[in-house]
Each structure stands twice: as C-alpha cells, then as structure tokens.
Amino acid sequence: MEGNNEGYNPNQQAFDESGGIYGVIQDLLKQKEEESLIDPLIGCYNRKYWEKFSANFNPKTDRISMVSIDVDGLKQINDGPGGHAAGDKYLIDTVNFLRNIFKDPEDKIIRMGGDEFLVLSQKGKNSHESYDHFKEYVNNYFSEDKLKTKGLNFSYGIAHFTNKIDKTVQDTLERSDHRMYSNKRIRKENDSNILPYQPVQNKVRV
C-alpha cells in the first residue's frame, strides 16, 4: 500500500482550491464596486454612492449632517479661453477645498452631477447643539472672503437629518438643496459676481 491516505478528502481539496479562486473573484468584484462609486474625473464619490448610502440609511437610528453645494460660474469658465480643461480644474480645486475642511475619514464628498456636490458629515449629527456648531463651522469656512482667497465661488445649503421632520434622508437632501438654491438667489440679488479663477495645486482625496 503506497503512502497513507488517512484523512485525505479529494472533495475537500477541490473546495479549498475553489475557495481560493472564489476569494480572488470576490476581491476583484469588491474593488470593481468601489471603483464604480468614484467619479473618474474629480476623484470624489459619485451619485451612485449617495444612492447606496440613502438606501442603507436607517431613519430610526442613523443621523447625518449634509451640505449641498452648487458651483457658480462653471459655464462661463468652460466658455472662456481655458475651455473645459479649466472648468474641470475648477471643479477639482473645489473638491480639494472641501476636503481640507471636512477631514474626518467618515466625511464624504459626493459629486451629485455636473456642478453640484454634496458633503455628508458626522459633525453635528448627535444633537441640535452640535448641529448649530456644525453650521457655524461651515459658514465660517464658506465665507465670501475665504472663497475669494481660493478663487472659488459657490452657493450652499445645510441640513441635518431629524426624524421629527424627515421620513427619509432624501427629505433632508431636499431641505439642504432648497437652502442652497435660496442662497444662490440671494447671492445673485447681491451681485456676487463670478470671481477670477485661480487654480490651486493639490491632489484630490475621496
């Protein structure tokens, strides 16, 4: 009798080998899914990420603060001498500016489409008092003077999920968007003109 095959199970070996292949496939699929959530031009998350986030959001237990952002003047920049390349750089610089403000690993910057962005932040999620601090924090960094120093120009609105007002996190987004458009209207009425574009050199981080 050759060798000792006690304990040998060819089916188990096949399972182990296929399990290894299965693990590799799972890793590739996970990587593919993660890549599908990233905007290829800007490098931040895309709308698909928001859809996944909102689908998994539990209104009974989860809380979030958000900032809706509409970049002003993108069409003028795209139509200018720098063309769409300058417009793309303008969007990238806007994301870099946001990333330097929202530094918590759980804060997410999302390109909702075109020139509209959304920031999901864990700051201010626990109470109205901390949310008030969050609003003050955002308003301070988004002041016209600070935007001018970066050559940026955008309108924004802030909202905080609360199940006393919102049935879903989509309701919170609608309130945030409404405030953003109100801010845009007020800024236009105050003649906040498009500022000269001055690109800043930073790498985009998700």
The per-residue pLDDT for range 165-186, each reduced to its tens digit, is: 999 999 999 999 999 999 999 9
What's the rounded Cα separation, in Å, for the pair 56 and 37? 15
**Adjacent-strand bridge partners of 155:** 70
Cα three-residue angle 21-26-31, rounded to 5 degrees = 130
pLDDT in tens, 40-73: 999 999 999 999 999 999 999 999 999 999 999 8
pLDDT in tens, 76-99: 999 999 999 999 999 999 999 999
CB contact at 8 A, 174 and 81:
no
Q: Is the per-residue pLDDT at 204 higher than 50?
A: no
Q: Is the per-residue pLDDT at 160 higher than 70?
A: yes
3-state SS, 25-76, equals: HHHHHHHHHHHHCECCCCCCEEHHHHHHHHHHCCCCCCCCEEEEEEECCHHH
What's the rounded Cα separation, in Å, for the pair 138 and 107? 13
The pTM of this model reads 0.77
Mean per-residue pLDDT of the chain = 82
CB contact at 8 A, 157 and 181:
yes
Q: What is the pLDDT of residue 16?
A: 47
Q: What is the pLDDT of residue 195?
A: 46
Q: Is the per-residue pLDDT at 21 higher than 90?
A: no
pLDDT in tens, 100-133: 999 898 999 999 999 999 999 987 666 666 788 8
| Assigned fold of 45-189 | Alpha-Beta Plaits (3.30.70)
Q: What is the pLDDT of residue 62?
A: 92
Burial 61-77 (b: 16+ CB within 10 A, else e): eebbbbbbbbbbbbeeb
Residues in the chain: 206
Instruction: Give the percent of the chain with pLDDT over 90.
Output: 57
Q: Is the per-residue pLDDT at 7 higher than 60?
A: no
What's the rounded Cα separation, in Å, for the pair 177 and 156? 8
